[in-house]
Chains A and B, each alone.
Chain A
Amino acid sequence: MYQWDFSFIWSYRWLFVNGTVVTLLFTFGIVVLGLAVGLFSGLLRLSRFAPLRWLSQAYVEVFRCTPVLVQLVWFYYALPILSGIEMSATTAGVLALSLYGGAFYSEIIRGGINSIEPGQTEAALALGMTPSQSMRRIVLPQALKRMVPPLMNQSIIQLKNTSLVSVLAVPDLLYQGQAVAHDSYRPLEIYTLVAVIYFVILFPLTLLVGRLERRLARAD
């Protein structure tokens, strides 16, 4: 039987705290940027101009149909060669994960907007609103409410995806865990703790999403 021993971990506490902070900041960054990209792309997807729709669709498909780890590595090792611009691991990670998340957010936002009955837009236009007024005042407020649970779900996935940046040596929670594991020779305790920290952050969030989903289902 393996003798569990968590007592030594206390001396590494600041590494775990730092790693968790980096993971949370990273998540915050890629969720905000990803939402901005996703809203832009989702609206393009609904544009009257076909080339804009195609552009948006091409973006979404490229990022949905390649593994996110491949994207990370590509942005860090390949893009600098192509563009001639060096970038830090953090920059590459933020860029890749924001664009990856943005592709999924884009689909959620497009779906949310499409789920609003066309009669709402017609009523708004019939009052004399312009299409953008109708979008802002009538369609988006209703669509946003429906989008919140799936957007939160995607953001939870985004938090988990941040663990991938450890391969680029961004000092996130998993990276710090690896460092401690090497240092202490106790990978079982370390990686268990890392998993527990992710779980403790994510579980309440999934409960919250579930509650929101149920509340919305009741309201409909």
Chain B
Amino acid sequence: MTAKIEVAALSKSFGDHQVLRSVNMSVGSGEVVALIGPSGSGKSTLLRCLNLLVTPDGGRVRVGGQSLDFGTSSKLPGTASLAKFRAGTGMVFQQFNLFPHKTVLGNVMEGPLTVRRMPRAEAETLARALLGKVGLAEKADQYPARLSGGQKQRVAIARALAMQPEIMLFDEATSALDPELVGEVLNVMRELAAEGMTMVIVTHEIAFAREVADRVVFLRDGVIVEDGPAKQVIDAPQQEATQAFLSHFHRQRDN
């Protein structure tokens, strides 16, 4: 399997707080990796380094054919090359971040129109097809404020897919949802995984990670502590820190 995402010696500090410590990680083409770890361990920061919403202090990030180096010797990439890099990576946020001044259809068309400069008719066809895929074809003309959380998140996924990205990044995509709405979003993610989309998923849904992810990466204090096949890491973690985290997690869920 050729690696689709490659992260080498990635480091990031906020002030004097080192959040990522020389992280190395690779994700194969079509692979689904779940990123788990305690709060503040750097999961979101690592994910946001993959599309450069957070600029790493050092190391290398490669996604598909695009690679950028960071560090003292290399100068920071300009806004145009950052934008080009991000256009190939889709991201889904915990808080959806839909554009409230645009309709559902407008949200999904925005990337193709503005970034890809796709003709309007073509963008609309693409957007309607994607809305159908996430089960929201009939909501195309509504504004996001009228949707439920689960529907909003599905629109956000369609919006990201409209850029026809090489990879999809999910940062706790279901954490802001009422429990009864989690399933519909996980279903869409499950489908994407089955279609062979390369995905990195930050999640607290351990059961979902076990079921859908090929690999689970456990992060603590900015270091990858354990990285292995999903079922192995979750059912029989090798590292003490992973065991402690998962047992704590199971206790929480049992309460």
- Annotate A88-119 by CB proximity to B: 1 below 8 A, 0 otherwise: 00000000000000000000000000000101
Interface contact B163-A127, CB-CB below 8 Å: yes
Segment with Cβ contacts to B, from A22-30, A77-85, A134-142, A150-158: A134-142
Segment with Cβ contacts to A, from B87-95, B118-126, B241-249: B87-95
Interface contact B159-A119, CB-CB below 8 Å: no
Q: Using known A-B contacts A120-B97, A123-B97, A137-B114, determine if residue A128 contacts B53 with beta carbons closer than 8 Å.
A: no
Interface contact A128-B86, CB-CB below 8 Å: yes
**Interface SS, A side:** helix
- Annotate B124-157 by CB proximity to A: 1 below 8 A, 0 otherwise: 0000000000000000000000000000000010
Kindly state whether residue B213 has any CB partner on chain A within 8 Å: no
Interface contact A125-B86, CB-CB below 8 Å: yes
Kindly state whether residue A86 has any CB partner on chain B within 8 Å: no
Residues of A within 8 A of B86 (CB): 125-128
Q: Using known A-B contacts A120-B99, A131-B79, determine if residue A126 contacts B114 with beta carbons closer than 8 Å.
A: no
Residues of B within 8 A of A122 (CB): 53, 93, 97
Task: Report the bound CA distance from A42 to B111 in whole Å.
Answer: 27
Task: Kindly provide the distance from the CB of B143 to the nearest chain A CB, expressed in whole angstroms.
Answer: 10
Task: Report the bound CA distance from A133 to B86 in whole Å.
Answer: 14
- Annotate B68-89 by CB proximity to A: 1 below 8 A, 0 otherwise: 0000000000011011101111
Task: Kindly provide the distance from the CB of A148 to the nearest chain B CB, expressed in whole angstroms.
Answer: 14
Residues of A within 8 A of B160 (CB): 126-127
The listed residue (B84, B95, B99, B101) touching A128 by CB distance below 8 A is B84
Residues of A within 8 A of B51 (CB): 126
Which residue on B lies nearest to A48, using beta carbons? Answer: B79
Kindly state whether residue A130 has any CB partner on chain B within 8 Å: yes
Kindly state whether residue A194 has any CB partner on chain B within 8 Å: no
Interface contact B80-A130, CB-CB below 8 Å: yes
Task: Report the bound CA distance from A127 to B93 in whole Å.
Answer: 12
Kindly state whether residue B40 has any CB partner on chain A within 8 Å: no
Interface residue total, chain B, C-beta cutoff 8 A: 28
Kindly state whether residue A129 has any CB partner on chain B within 8 Å: yes
Interface contact A123-B99, CB-CB below 8 Å: yes
The listed residue (B80, B83, B90, B156) touching A125 by CB distance below 8 A is B83
Task: Report the bound CA distance from A133 to B156 in whole Å.
Answer: 19
Interface contact A128-B110, CB-CB below 8 Å: no
Residues of B within 8 A of A137 (CB): 110, 114
Q: Which of B32-85 contact A (CB under 8 A)?
A: 51, 53, 79-80, 82-84
Known: A128-B86, A128-B115, A137-B114. 19 other contacts (CB 8 A): A120-B99, A122-B53, A122-B97, A123-B93, A123-B98, A125-B83, A126-B90, A127-B87, A127-B110, A127-B160, A129-B114, A130-B83, A131-B79, A133-B83, A133-B115, A137-B110, A141-B101, A142-B99, A145-B101
- 16 pairs, A vs B, C-beta closer than 8 Å: A119-B95, A119-B97, A120-B97, A120-B99, A122-B53, A123-B97, A125-B82, A125-B86, A127-B160, A127-B163, A128-B115, A130-B83, A133-B83, A133-B115, A142-B100, A142-B101
B interface with A by C-beta (< 8 Å) = 51, 53, 79-80, 82-84, 86-91, 93, 95, 97-101, 110-111, 114-115, 156, 159-160, 163
A interface with B by C-beta (< 8 Å) = 117, 119-120, 122-131, 133, 137-138, 141-142, 145
